[in-house]
Amino acid sequence: MTGTIRAGRKFAVVLSLDPLGDPSLPHDSLAPSPLSVENCLAAIEECRAPIVSVTGGEPLQYPQIAELSRSILASGRHLFLHTNGLLIRRWLHMIPPETRFFWNIQLDGTEAFHDARYQQPGLFAEALDGVKAAKNAGFFVIASTTVCPDTDPADVEALYDRLHSLHVDGYLLAPAYLSKAVCCNSSKKFHSDMKQKFRDLTARVGGYNLMMSPLYMEFLRGERELDCCVWASPTFGPRGWASPCSTLNHGYVRSYRDLIEKTVWENYGRGMNPKCETCMSADGYESAALLGSNPKAGDLWKLLSWQFSGGLGERRNGGGRA
């Protein structure tokens, strides 16, 4: 499989839904009005992704977030609601605990590191209170950590130790992207540093329930190559479908079909576009891993083993490599 499954058709696996429009992204500082719930549901049906991640600046500030969440779950899809954690306690009433619903809370390190990164004292403590409230209410909770060149693997391990004591159900490690253009030597150094960072992180936190495939982890550690399949993880917001992806965000198209059919996908990915050189994002490369890009013998067994050996909230025996 190389993304040619389903008779050569490209298709969505995860939809990143941004109902407010992220003001940190290019073109969105003067974004139009937030999406209606009807707009959001139409986009979900248009791309037919089985998993929806509601994201953006802070989706819990979207006034119709309760209605939207209930509607997504009613459609039979899995829902990940990505938040900084500050407003969780206000919204715990919006739906009962549901096996297809996950609070996805951004925590980039222990208190000192997390608060310094966002320059907001008290942010970590508030987010942790949100974690506790969601777990006490019976929800699934996962933690997302952005891995930057200055991330300390020991600090991430300390964070996970603390979250594990609160019975957090899973963990995501997201590699940072350098938005500014870098020269060839700087790109090589960035990748060398990041690969070592993920090797160190695997040694320290690989025993936790990392909700990333072993093939994607191999890619992040520099043990294999993958082709970018970002078309499988599109982003939809108030201006339309981000083209070709939310990372580059060169512009927007009006339909998912236009995104798929009118984008020259061969022009994007590491080695194909200078702005893609420091990208290791899950949108492109976890999608590639799950779709069978650049297959190797034993990949299917690794994926099956990963799916059936992990347990939400459990620490795997032995630690070591994910």
What is the per-residue pLDDT for 88?
Answer: 95
Q: What is the pLDDT, as a whole number, of residue 182?
A: 66
Domain spans of the chain, in order of start: 14-309
Q: Say if residues 21 and 56 touch (Cβ distance below 8 Å).
A: yes
- Tell me the per-residue pLDDT of 247-263, one tens digit each, with 9 for 90 and over: 887 889 999 999 999 99
Options 3.50.50.60, 3.20.20.70, 3.90.550.10, 1.20.200.10; CATH of 14-309: 3.20.20.70
How much is the pLDDT for 322? 44
Each residue's pLDDT tens digit, 103-134:
999 999 999 999 999 999 999 999 999 999 99
The pTM (predicted TM-score) of the whole model is 0.90
Taking alpha carbons only, the member of 70, 40, 52, 63 closest to residue 12 is: 52
**30 pLDDT more than 70:** no
Residue 309 pLDDT grade (very low, low, confident, very high; cuts 50, 70, 90): confident
* Rounded average pLDDT over 62-71: 96
What's the rounded Cα separation, in Å, for the pair 96 and 218? 37
Q: Of 78-82, 167-171, 293-297, which range is least confident?
A: 293-297
What is d(CA 105, CA 172) in angstroms, rounded to the nearest whole number? 10
What is the pLDDT at residue 186? 76
Does position 146 have pLDDT exceeding 80, yes or no?
A: yes
